[in-house]
Structure 1
Amino acid sequence: MTSTETETTTGAIDPAPAHRWLGFFAVLAALIMNLLDSTVVNVAAPSIRRDLGASYADIQWIAAGYTLALAVGLMTGGRLGDLFGRRNMLMIGVAGFAISSLGCAITPNPQLLITARVVQGLFGAVMIPQGFGLLRDLFPPQELGKAFGALGPVIGLSTILGPVVAGTLIDANLFGTGWRMVFGINVPLALFALLAGLKALPRGARSGRTVRLDGTGAVLAGVAMFLLVYPLVQGRELGWPSWLAGVGAGAIAAFALFAAHQARRTRRGVSTLVEFSVLTKRSYAGGTLFTLVFFGAIVGFSLVTGLLLQLGLGYSPVRAALAMVWWAVGAFFGSGFGATMMHKLGRRIVHLGLTIMAASLIGLYLVFVHSHTGLSGWSLAPVLGGYGFGMGMIFVPLFDIIMGEISDREIGSASAILESLQQLGASVGVAGLGTVFFGMIGAHAGTATFFAAAERVTLITLALVAAAFALGFLLPRHARRTGHGSAEGPVAAAAAEGGAEGTASVELDELIERESVTV
């Protein structure tokens, strides 16, 4: 052990201050990779379609395959860190993410690209849950607020600039790579994360808790989710054959088998992916439905908007990204408002955000109706910015509000379910809204048809927002105050000692740890 490192009572290595910030940037690089790959398909999809001859269903799978794999993998990703160490699993996740990103960049056909995206999602599910635990291992409580205070603006800026960088890379066509560079850029990011992480991240001791992986449960959950999404994506291309109803029934059966398997493990006293006691609380059960609907609306609608701008209006990738950047800008400022007002307004902030989203969708619908011959990016700025602001208001308080009646013993299971359902909702939104959009435009649609399809998708999204508004009344009236009012753990201590800065760091931690920045 060097003179700049000390052994803690838990067996973890306490790194020197310089190494702490190097480790911070290693974690940040991993988080940025995930943020980029959650959004780049919205910009790159038309270029991928032209270059690889991909079908509309292929485009949906390229987007949904990543989130679907995340939904399944996140159920066990955090427990892998408990079993084998957070640094080890982050390094494996980053390495696998880099290799699969390279696979995305060199793939010769849509089918292999879809496969590589699924592998990306699985390694992302290993990588993502480790980051915030590692930051808590890196920084003492009195410095944790500074770390998260630095993380927030960088993550927010990455969310805004990520699609713009992707569009610029596609238009620049460096070395003739075109869209492939939006995946290739992950390789240098991953190399930095690996080198910096191996040098600076603590080799913390494994969890002392008895943790057993539930591989069978994860497989059953994955099969059920796939069978749910498959008919939505493939139904249009297959002509909606009657046997797809059997696939839907298979999804229900798979979910039932998953529930039975979890119940059996519960009776045996073995670790489960789902703790059923959380589902007996009406507020939490309603919150899971809210999560599915809410994230389905925002992620599916984002993909359709990007496709309209490029396929329907002929925007270049960078011009489309610049037109849509107002969405991310609105979400950035909305998140700040939500963090400030979440404990004062409680559940009302969710309804306020949804109201702003609904008003913006109505405005966007009117823009589409009166713009059948063309559309400037500036005309989209107010409505997309407003939609993003309302959406961002909901991100920060959402998970605390949903878990307002969840006991401390149930938080781990409840969080894992919500994180997975967020990604599942994103997959279903891409599949459902994408199918409506592609079903209307056909193979050789004109601009007017693209606008008509966008109008229909906007109205469906408005209906989903209205459904989320109704489901919002099932949520608890107030967010959990664990970690804000009492000193429970290092993050709470940072909040207590750091005043407003520390409190903001806690809220930011909750925002990003729930993977809520899905702009």
Structure 2
Amino acid sequence: MIALPVVLVAVYMTTLDFFVANLAVPSIRAGLGAGDAAVQFVVAGYGLAYAAGLIVSGRLGDLYGHRRVFAAGLALFTAASAACGLSPDAASLVLARVAQGVAAALLAPQALTLIGVLFEGAALARAFGWYGAAVGLAGVSGQAIGGLLVAADPLGLGWRACFLVNVPIGVAALALIGRVLPRTPRSGDRRDLDLTGAALIAAGLVAVVLPLVEGREQAWTWWCLAAAAPLLAGFVRRQRRLAASGRAPLLDLAVFAEKGFAGGLVAVALLFGTSAGLSFVLALYLQDGLGLSALAAGAVCTALNAGFFLTSLRAGRVPAPFAALMVVAGLALLGYAVIRAAGPYQVASALFVTGGGMGLLMSPLISSVLSRVRRERAGAAAGVLGTVQEAGGVLGGTVTGAAFFGALDGGWAAATLAGLAVLVAGALGVLAHCLVPSKPVIHVNP
């Protein structure tokens, strides 16, 4: 069935674009004269807009039809990719990346909902497995693809090719949507769309991430960080008040009452944060630290892809604690390689182990979180899961970047080790979650 590949191509592109920009960071810094904060925003701006828009976009799918919103998101993503590739300066690139993130947010919940419409039973479980594989493969292949595009320099585009490559793929997928994707019924009253709640959740997420990006340079960011808690608390209170009054909330908070759902979300956030942070650190260490070209750096990162791909074929058949322990061990080996000032081959070996652990863990973890939710709450769960994935990636990349740049005065090795310390802490959190005995709860409607 061609419908699933069309959906997964969009999922793959939007996930890939969070990571593919990492490998291009050194080229973007040189080509646009961007500073540390600007290049962090090239990555964080995309992920932040993605995370902030996911919850409201799930509601938009209910109100206007999931296929229609999916098509609108793909069209905007394609246009924003073109804008990224044509950006004349760092500020324009950041704005285009934010637009890309908004478009990705429109796509993600609709993709999960459309998969639920297209499949049922065992086929649905397999489709969710393919979804998890697409997300995971995009996450670990971004570095290699970015390096290949920068090095190949098609038409003299350099780093711009990392974004412009989305344009023909997006156009082709758009041409197929009307033929292969089903219409979905609309539900709810458009007047009930909670724009105030959307503003609160978006402002709360910005208040968390902005200080982490600018905190080393701006004193006011402490006040911004302090505002995050009341903004997010205000969002929760508003959703509860809307539900109590009989109106449709932006987010059905009852989804968090599903057994094991909240704990699974924390593990997903930590895993995606570790993946995003690793991509950011590798891009800078391999090119600026070890002096490798973009192509050579991308080649080293293929070890991460290879490990992920090979073990993902066994995903779900290996105990989760073992998979999480592989991620921890791989990061520790990478730190040891940095301490010893080892060459690319030793770094690649560590990345192979890390990718192997992620391949065993990522798809089963995502599937287990979704399997704990009743079908009638699947839309809310999809929005929350997507938000957590992207927020985890943004926070992981931003916190790791802050640790990295904070230690950069001590040299590239010291900065890399500081970043890896953050990543090891995140991976240990995932391991702790996996050590807690639990069983997926599959809810079946009568």
TM-score (structure 1 length as normaliser)? 0.77
Give a deviation string over 1:216-255, Cα, whole Å, max 9, x none: 21211110000001111101133xx2x3321111111111
1:457 and 2:419 are equivalent in the alignment: yes
Give the Å deviation of 1:46: 0.6
Give a deviation string over 1:261-282, Cα, whole Å, max 9, x none: 1111111122223333344567
Tell me the residue number matched to 1:416. 383
| Superposition pairs of residues 270-419 of structure 1, within 5 angstroms | 270-280=247-257, 283-341=260-318, 349-371=319-341, 375-376=343-344, 378-402=345-369, 406-419=373-386
Query: What is the aligned counterpart of 1:477 among 431, 435, 438?
Result: 438
Tell me the residue number matched to 1:468. 430
> Is the alpha carbon distance of 1:407 and 1:92 closer, same or farther for their aligned partners in structure 2, counting shifts above 3 Å?
closer
Query: What is the aligned counterpart of 2:393 among 426, 430, 433?
Result: 426
Q: Secondary structure at the match of 2:313?
A: helix
> Is the alpha carbon distance of 1:193 and 1:281 closer, same or farther for their aligned partners in structure 2, counting shifts above 3 Å?
closer
| 1:269 maps to amino acid | G
Question: Which segment is superposed worse, 94-103 or 330-339?
Answer: 330-339
1:207 and 2:174 are equivalent in the alignment: no
| 1:124 maps to amino acid | A
Tell me the residue number matched to 2:54. 74
Question: Which segment is superposed worse, 362-371 or 408-417?
Answer: 408-417
Q: Secondary structure at the match of 1:315?
A: coil
Question: Which segment is superposed worse, 94-103 or 381-390?
Answer: 381-390
Give the Å deviation of 1:142: 10
> Is the alpha carbon distance of 1:368 and 1:56 closer, same or farther for their aligned partners in structure 2, counting shifts above 3 Å?
same
Whether contact under 8 Å (2:12, 2:134) holds in the other structure is no
Whether contact under 8 Å (2:58, 2:380) holds in the other structure is no
> Is the alpha carbon distance of 1:48 and 1:297 closer, same or farther for their aligned partners in structure 2, counting shifts above 3 Å?
same
Tell me the residue number matched to 1:173. 153
Distance in 2 between residues matched to 1:197 and 1:411, nearest whole Å: 22
| 1:464 maps to amino acid | G
Distance in 2 between residues matched to 1:253 and 1:153, nearest whole Å: 37
Distance in 1 between residues matched to 2:112 and 2:370, nearest whole Å: 20
Q: Secondary structure at the match of 2:247?
A: coil
Q: Secondary structure at the match of 1:237?
A: coil
> Is the alpha carbon distance of 1:336 and 1:450 closer, same or farther for their aligned partners in structure 2, counting shifts above 3 Å?
same
Distance in 1 between residues matched to 2:141 and 2:271, nearest whole Å: 24
Question: Which segment is superposed worse, 136-145 or 226-235?
Answer: 136-145
Distance in 1 between residues matched to 2:387 and 2:322, nearest whole Å: 25
Whether contact under 8 Å (2:207, 2:225) holds in the other structure is yes
Whether contact under 8 Å (1:400, 1:480) holds in the other structure is no
Give the Å deviation of 1:422: 1.8
Whether contact under 8 Å (1:26, 1:192) holds in the other structure is no
Distance in 2 between residues matched to 1:286 and 1:146, nearest whole Å: 23
Distance in 1 between residues matched to 2:328 and 2:133, nearest whole Å: 27
| 2:403 maps to amino acid | V
For the aligned residue pairs, the C-alpha RMSD in angstroms reads: 3.1
Give a deviation string over 1:144-193, Cα, whole Å, max 9, x none: 89988998988877666554333222123233211111111111111111
Tell me the residue number matched to 2:101. 121
Question: Which segment is superposed worse, 39-48 or 72-81?
Answer: 72-81
> Is the alpha carbon distance of 1:61 and 1:35 closer, same or farther for their aligned partners in structure 2, counting shifts above 3 Å?
same
Distance in 1 between residues matched to 2:34 and 2:339, nearest whole Å: 29
Tell me the residue number matched to 1:10. none
Q: Secondary structure at the match of 1:236?
A: coil
> Is the alpha carbon distance of 1:229 and 1:272 closer, same or farther for their aligned partners in structure 2, counting shifts above 3 Å?
same
Runs of 5+ in structure 1 lacking a partner? 1-19, 342-348, 490-519
Structure number with bigger Rg = 1
Query: What is the aligned counterpart of 2:177 among 192, 197, 201?
Result: 197
Give a deviation string over 1:320-354, Cα, whole Å, max 9, x none: 1110122122222333322335xxxxxxx332222
Q: In the comparison of the two structures, how many residue pairs are matched?
A: 445
> Is the alpha carbon distance of 1:453 and 1:163 closer, same or farther for their aligned partners in structure 2, counting shifts above 3 Å?
closer
> Is the alpha carbon distance of 1:139 and 1:293 closer, same or farther for their aligned partners in structure 2, counting shifts above 3 Å?
closer
> Is the alpha carbon distance of 1:91 and 1:352 closer, same or farther for their aligned partners in structure 2, counting shifts above 3 Å?
same
Distance in 2 between residues matched to 1:141 and 1:407, nearest whole Å: 14
Give the Å deviation of 1:131: 3.2
Query: What is the aligned counterpart of 2:404 among 416, 437, 443?
Result: 437
Give the Å deviation of 1:52: 0.5
1:41 and 2:21 are equivalent in the alignment: yes
Runs of 5+ in structure 2 lacking a partner? none
Distance in 2 between residues matched to 1:466 and 1:79, nearest whole Å: 34
Distance in 2 between residues matched to 1:71 and 1:151, nearest whole Å: 18
Distance in 2 between residues matched to 1:389 and 1:227, nearest whole Å: 35
Distance in 2 between residues matched to 1:395 and 1:152, nearest whole Å: 7
Whether contact under 8 Å (2:19, 2:276) holds in the other structure is no
> Is the alpha carbon distance of 1:244 and 1:155 closer, same or farther for their aligned partners in structure 2, counting shifts above 3 Å?
closer
Distance in 1 between residues matched to 2:373 and 2:137, nearest whole Å: 33
Distance in 1 between residues matched to 2:97 and 2:158, nearest whole Å: 18
Question: Which segment is superposed worse, 216-225 or 276-285?
Answer: 276-285
Distance in 1 between residues matched to 2:184 and 2:253, nearest whole Å: 30
Q: Secondary structure at the match of 1:326?
A: helix
Query: What is the aligned counterpart of 2:80 among 100, 120, 139?
Result: 100
Tell me the residue number matched to 2:65. 85
Query: What is the aligned counterpart of 2:212 among 200, 223, 232?
Result: 232
Distance in 1 between residues matched to 2:425 and 2:125, nearest whole Å: 40
Distance in 1 between residues matched to 2:382 and 2:62, nearest whole Å: 16
Whether contact under 8 Å (2:372, 2:442) holds in the other structure is no
Whether contact under 8 Å (2:277, 2:400) holds in the other structure is yes
Q: Secondary structure at the match of 1:481?
A: coil
Distance in 2 between residues matched to 1:285 and 1:329, nearest whole Å: 31
Tell me the residue number matched to 1:251. 228
| 2:441 maps to amino acid | R
